[in-house]
Amino acid sequence: MRAIEKAMRAELQSLPELVRSSALAQVAIELASRLDGEPADTAAVLLARELRMALNDLHQRAPEDLTDDVDRFLARIATPDSRDAAH
């Protein structure tokens, strides 16, 4: 396994299993593998474009994680602690 395919597989690991095991994920791995094969410039551009589009689609299929630090922070400021309210 070479650099681009390895990076693609690592990227897929951040996605839910349902997305990782999809046919589109397998296509993305195949595209990455083909890019590792050092295709001609025109082919490399087309493969890279297709890989970018596949990866974007994969990320869109993954449900959003609403429990990250930014969301928790925004939720906290949207609902201030009652102890902070003026009396």
Give the pTM. 0.68
pLDDT at 83: 55
Task: Parse the chain into domains and list their residue ranges.
Answer: 3-84
Query: Largest Cα–Cα distance in the chain?
Result: 71
Angle between helix 3-13 and 41-61 (nearest 10):
10
Label residue 79 left, alpha or beta by phi (over 0 means left) and psi (-120 to 50 means alpha): beta
DSSP reduced 3-state for 85: coil
Residues of the chain falling short of pLDDT 50? 66
